[in-house]
Structure 1
Amino acid sequence: MRQGVLAFPLTSFTEDGEQVDVAGFATHLRRHLDTGAVALFVACGTGEFPSLTEQEYRTVVREAVTVTAGRAPVLAGAGYGWAQARRFVTIAAEEGVDGILLMPPYLARGSQSGMVEHVRRVATTSELPLIVYQRDLMALTAASVAELSGLPAVIGLKDGHSNFLELQRMQLAAGSGFLWFNGSLTAEMQYRPYASVGIAPYSSAVQSFLPEVSRAFFLAAREGDQARMDELLQGFFSPLVEIRDRVPGYAVALVKAGARLRGEQVGPVRAPLVDPDGSDLDDLAALIETGLALVR
């Protein structure tokens, strides 16, 4: 996977939220590709994986592989308990994806041995490379990561806990060749602490509605332009986090609302997520204009 912006596309729904809007999704994917995304992680958190049926998941994954046509690797989310996660991995493999992002087990807190076994069961489903996403109820130890790194299919870990002491232990335990990703919410805000422990790649939700700002930050980070990073963090990303933290689920809902404000046909979020309205939507619209002004 080459260096660049890692995109986590939205899943487009019809206006009533009842069906996947395939045409809208295809347009959204092309915009990601045309604005320089180097990999597409579809049907993941930003893509509302937990709200998708198996058939909808297949539709989303198939469309992503078709539209991308080799321009960038396509990775698909998979999750829930290991038996169901294997079903999603099988579907993704049938549709020709390049890898899997394994989401945390849903509402199930397991022991370390249980979480390792969960990943092992999924990782042996196919030969697809698999990245483990730890966040929420899934918090691995260095010993567990060392064990997982020995599985042929497990190539890396995306971290959403931001426990840097434990991350250092994990990195030492996993050894060289294992991939690491900053998976914190609004990851640009934590780029520096992650980069300080050697984890530069990050997921950019902002890429889904304001790729101009997403790419500007990536370029500033790559070039070590601290002043430019500060300008973008203070002027755009920090205010975005303030709006994001007003309502649970806004980490996804704001992104989708931002895409709609910019004219994309992505539809609403599905409950239990709620779309922003009123002053939250007004503040987001104003912040988008601020972000665009910062990159003109």
Structure 2
Amino acid sequence: MTSTIDFTGVFPAMCTPFNDDESIDFETLQADAQRLEAAGVDGLVPVGSTGESATLTHDEHVDVVEAVIEAVDDVPVIAGSGSNNTREALELSERSAEAGADGLLLISPYYNKPEQRGFVEHYRTIADAIDLPQIVYNVPSRTGQNIEPDTAVELASHENIAGYKAASGDLGQIGEIAERTVDEEFAVLSGDDALTLPTISVGGTGTISVSANIEPERTCAMVGAALDGDYDRARAIHHELGPLFRALFIETNPIPVKEAMAIRGYGPARMRSPLTRLSEEHRAGLEAVLADLEAEPAAVADGSGEGDR
């Protein structure tokens, strides 16, 4: 592997902001990357599911990656570059690497529903071709197929497959993968904000987070405390963030988080079809959660961000 990344800590799954004509708002995108870096996150993940990669062209995808890289000074950029077509995922991964990405996040092939041996072949094809650290992304609710622990463990033996984003909701499975890869240079990262703290407790190293777009300092404080073994403080922050975790998934991600970004003044809420704006029935609840968080900064007061790790 030609480069390495310490996949420990908080890696926000960034939103892709759009102008009124649905073109990409690069100025806001870069300002957001800089805001998150200043908040103390450990890396950035553009053009994943939260970045609406499914509605971006490949050229737009690469443009977003390049813009985020250009905007930040000292954090790695892990580009979402997966597809349900291995050749397409390989091409997009190669283009992301050429654009300067430090690593790759590869969602498992969706819709096709490959067998486990198909997952192994898919990921190894990309890992053999590209010398960047790569994260296997398991989110069966979106893809229709689970990456089983045996498969994850087999993939962990490849020198370029450096981590696993766990969004199955199955803590037993997540813990098994962490247990069985403890002797590998392999990171298990939460892909579900509500399970970040439990994931760290069973051997996880951090999170690729939606909520960190809205509350990066709190998320860094929670993860940092947990990694330091201060579970009393980590649990207190987890409970503070609990209403946000729930509010951000009241509708399909990234609908609520983009609405929250707009409420906080971080970026527009516009979505590309077929996704739509957050329904009015849920907006008042989201506003209330955000207002409560702004009014109660207590649990972060004794430190946050990189100083905790």
- Tell me the TM-score normalized by structure 1: 0.88
**2:16 equivalent among 11, 29, 36:** 11
Go from structure 1 to structure 2 and tell me whether the alpha carbon gap of 1:75 and 1:195 turns closer, same or farther (over 3 Å shift). Answer: same
Q: Which residue of 2 aligns with 1:170?
A: 177
Counterpart residue number, 2:79: 76
2 CA distance for matches of 1:225 and 1:293?
24
Q: Identity rate of aligned residues, in percent?
A: 26
Q: Which amino acid aligns with 2:189?
A: N
Task: Report the secondary structure of 2:43's partner residue.
Answer: strand
Q: Report the CA distance between 1:190 and its aligned residue.
A: 1.6
Q: Does 1:111 align with 2:118?
A: no
Partner of residue 263, structure 1: 265
Change (3 A) 1:134 1:12: same
Match of 1:217 among 222, 236, 254: 222
**Cα deviation code 1:194-214 (max 9, x no counterpart):** 123211311221221232432
Equivalent in the alignment of 2:196? 191
RMSD: 2.2
- For the residues of structure 1 that align with 2:231 and 2:31, how far apart are their CA atoms? 34
| Contact kept in structure 1, 2:250 and 2:256, CA below 8 Å | no
Instruction: Name the CA shift for 1:245/1:168 in 2 (closer, same or farther; >3 Å).
Output: closer
Change in 2 beyond 3 A, CA 1:104/1:277: same
1:62 to 62, 66, 69: 66
Instruction: Name structure 2 gaps, 5 residues minimum.
Output: 1-5, 299-309
Report which stretch shifted further, 173-182 or 25-34.
173-182
Residue in structure 1 matched with residue 39 of structure 2 by the alignment: 35
Report the equivalent of 1:90: 94
> How far apart are residue 216 of structure 1 and its match?
3.8
Cα distance in 1 for partners of 2:113, 2:289 equals 37
Q: In structure 1, how many angstroms separate the alpha carbons of the residues matched to 2:153 and 2:9?
A: 27
Which 5+ residue runs of structure 1 have no aligned equivalent? none
Q: 2:241 & 2:160 partners in 1: Cα distance?
A: 38
Pick aligned residue for 1:276 from 259, 264, 278: 278
Could you say if the C-alpha distance between residues 204 and 158 of structure 1 is closer, same or farther in structure 2, counting changes exceeding 3 Å? same
- AA paired with 1:152? E
The alpha-carbon deviation at position 172 of structure 1 amounts to 4.6
Alignment equivalent of 2:150, drawn from 143, 155, 159 = 143
- Corresponding residue for residue 203 of structure 1: 208
**What is the match of residue 134 of structure 1?**
138
Structure 1 distance, partners of 2:100, 2:134, is 14
1:135 and 1:19, CA in 2 relative to 1: closer, same or farther beyond 3 A?
Answer: same
CA contact (8 A) 1:216 1:295 kept: no
Residue 228 and residue 164 in structure 1: after superposition, are their counterparts in 2 closer, same or farther (change >3 A)?
closer
- In the TM superposition, residue 173 of structure 1 has moved relative to its aligned partner by 4.1
How many equivalent pairs are there? 289
- The one-letter code matched in structure 2 to 1:218 is V
With normalisation by structure 2, the TM-score equals 0.85
Contact persistence 1:143–1:173 (CA under 8 A):
no
**3-state DSSP class of the match of 1:38?**
coil
CA shift for structure 1 position 59: 0.7
Secondary structure at the counterpart of residue 55 of structure 1: helix
* 1:134 partner letter: N
1:138 Cα deviation from its structure 2 partner: 3.8
**Bigger mean CA deviation after superposition, 207-216 or 276-285:** 207-216
Matched residue of 2:165: which SS? strand
8 Å Cα contact 2:48/2:105 also seen in 1 = yes
Task: Give the aligned partner of residue 164 of structure 2.
Answer: 157
